[in-house]
Amino acid sequence: MSVKYLEIQLFRMVTIHQHIYNYVYYNYVYYNHFYYNYVYYNHFYYNYVYYNYVYYNHFYYKYVYYNHVYYNHFYYNYVYYNHFYYNYVYYNYVYYNHVYYNHVYYNHVYYNHVYYNHFYYKYVN
């Protein structure tokens, strides 16, 4: 399955929630410059959260990004111990966007309070 195909499928899947599509999932999986520039200015977020925290990126790209497994139980279960981010955000906002909205105080608050000020900043530092 090509990356281009995944990109198209992802586009179709998340356009239901345009706001999430624009600010989170699409950009941080396929166009990472947007996501990790937006969240902790690329180097910080990419190295400490996205890259290292998700099994050094090898796991993430091999099993999640390329093989599409992040849509299903494998990614969800495998990193379930990362309770906040992976349970309520990463997994759920892909397939169950209502959960992302409900549990993370709606998108704008999630970005301002959780991504920047609370979860990532606190957890990483």
pLDDT in tens, 25-39: 333 333 333 333 333
Summarised one tens digit per residue, pLDDT across range 56-106 is 333 333 333 332 333 323 333 233 232 233 333 333 333 332 233 323 333
Rg of the Cα trace of the chain? 13
Contact 105, 112 (CB under 8 A): no
- Vertex 68, ends 63 and 72: CA angle to 5°? 95
- Domain of residue 89, residue span: 3-124
Residue 15 CA to residue 41 CA, distance in Å, equals: 25
Per-range mean pLDDT, top range of 8-22, 38-52, 87-101 = 8-22
Phi, psi at 81, each rounded to 5°: -65, -25
Tally of structural domains, the chain? 1
pTM exceeding the 0.75 threshold for the entire prediction:
no
